[in-house]
Chains A and B, each alone.
Chain A
């Protein structure tokens, strides 16, 4: 379980993360969403003490990261799979990390096996593809069998197979009862991986909720109808004040429930070939939510 309270990070006078608080529960994958440059990566670096935060704290099962003597046993972090010396072999890369936290070389071989890199354990990291580096990064996360897992943009630059592997690995880790926090700007990917969301914009918390709640709150909903008498239905709907977008065969009716449209059609003897409710994607919801935060900040800044 991760608890972040009032985390604030400034670079000079620029506020990168502003009084951010959220929690990450064990057993689920929590997606950490924010437009590029809005602070997810900075937040993660501050949480594990790489960057100094000006105020606030991040607790891992109640303890700050800096108090952990052998942190790999409690928190596994992958910020950037490129953080590995290109001249070292995969095995040696993991060996020095393992040694620093008192883990035996045997554990290195185990995690290499888990991520499927055993065959290339003695190859230099510089010869690895991005996908292999990402697997090596996951291996380093698993070294200490931690209760908390943190990954920054793990799907970045991966091919579809690699993305699928990461997705299944994260779900597997969460199913074992670990708290998993994953940042990403690949929203469609996040919709598949995450159960819960922490959404930030301009370094501020916009919302913490489940993916379904987030979509239902922020994504648009509309009713789609197809009908041989479409023109008549559209005219009736417009007369009732509904927003209608139409082409030759279908019409989208906004700001209305499908039941209302069905009753309107039945009451006027109009035949319907389709009547369905559509919901926007996580991407739509996210753009909607963060656009508001950007506008809000723009106004508040110009006001001061």
Chain B
């Protein structure tokens, strides 16, 4: 299993577009939060400002990481290497698992870097500005942890969608439209029809909400939201793994 994971890691890092996507997935969210603390009015900065910006950029970060998850599967189909992969490792569940380990760890590491660099550089920026000493925010650490876990979960979701569609454009479109459009429309319509807050059952939205610094009192709670989304991703992953196992390569 270690050998297959190593192999998948070599595959991921030796394609330039993957490396570019990974860098973009870190740089864009960091740029958003660091520019925000740089230019925000000094009188408005409090202990929740920097963590709020960092986890606020998290939704962009995890979507870009999801794209990376998509690419690591679909490029195997578009370039024909899937046949070499499956010839080298006939056990398809192992291939899926190894890929999953690699993209999940990478997703968590990338969001981890965003949290780390965002905090170090962001604090330095705030220190350099004319802001009074800030307390630490008690919600920051759990929100950061949720963001790091979301990096792993969305990477796995991207990979699952990639394995189901086998095609980069349709997989990326599905991944991006799911939270932005589908859940908005479906949630909205269901809320109208049932006169209830059905929107809160939308899985991707739940996952994104788990990264918020302050959560609504009456909701599932941070780990409930994240767990709910993770359960959906597990479900989609099982279907994707089954599809990989059953379909001709």
Contact = CB atoms under 8 A, between A and B. Distances in A.
Interface stretch (A93-101, A156-164, A282-290): A93-101
Interface string A48-92: 111110000000000001111011100001011011111111001
A45 B247 CA distance: 13
A102 interface: yes
Interface residues of A, number: 33
26 contacts: A45-B83, A45-B249, A50-B83, A50-B87, A50-B248, A50-B249, A71-B87, A72-B88, A79-B83, A80-B80, A83-B81, A83-B84, A84-B80, A84-B81, A85-B81, A87-B17, A88-B14, A88-B15, A92-B10, A92-B14, A96-B8, A97-B84, A100-B4, A100-B6, A100-B7, A100-B89
B85 interface: yes
A140 B4 CA distance: 16
Interface of B: 3-4, 6-8, 10-11, 14-17, 75, 79-81, 83-91, 246, 248-249
B87 A77 contact: yes
Contacts of A68: 90
Contact of B88 (A51, A71, A82, A88): A71
A83 B80 contact: yes
Instruction: Give the residue among B85, B88, B90, B248 with the most A Cβ atoms within 10 A.
Output: B88
Nearest to B85: A100
Contacts of B75: 85
Contacts, number: 81
A86 B248 contact: no
Nearest to B80: A83
A88 to B, nearest CB: 5
B147 to A, nearest CB: 30
A52 B92 CA distance: 13
A149 to B, nearest CB: 13
A82 B80 contact: yes
B249 to A, nearest CB: 4
Nearest to A87: B15
A15 B4 CA distance: 35
B14 A96 contact: yes
A72 B15 CA distance: 23
Contact of B3 (A49, A84, A92, A100): A100
A71 B249 CA distance: 17
A52 B80 contact: no
B106 to A, nearest CB: 16
B87 A48 contact: yes
Given A79-B83, A84-B81, A89-B14, A65 B248 contact: no
